[in-house]
Amino acid sequence: MTDNNQKQQDDQRGGINPIVAGVTGAIVGAVAVGVAGAAVLADDDNRKKAEEVIDEVKDNVADMKADVEEKIAEGQEKVDAVVTAATDSTQNVVDDAK
């Protein structure tokens, strides 16, 4: 006996691999963006605007990086305080047990 579901799956196997289709779509999209970008940057005014936007983005990223580094430092200080408190507490328990 032939399982109808298996036969249907076998019939569908000849289709396009979804991974290949996804990669192909990504490549086509990247090429389209590249062509559009080249057309936009061909104009001097647009190129200057793009450079300004890129500079602004760089400044924003630098500011965000500084904020993140500051928050990490604050977090490290809090962790150090908790570790010190836990170590002191543990030492007090050991001293009391003696």
Asked whether residue 1 is domain-assigned, the answer is no
Give domain status of residue 2, yes or no. no
Determine, yes or no, domain membership for 5.
no
User: pLDDT of 2-57, one tens digit each?
Assistant: 566 655 555 555 566 777 778 888 888 888 887 777 777 777 777 788 788 888 88
Number of domains in the chain: 1
- Residue 51, in any domain of the structure: yes
Asked if the model's pLDDT at residue 98 lies above 80, the reply is no
Backbone region of residue 38 per phi and psi (left: phi > 0; alpha: psi in -120 to 50; beta: other values):
alpha
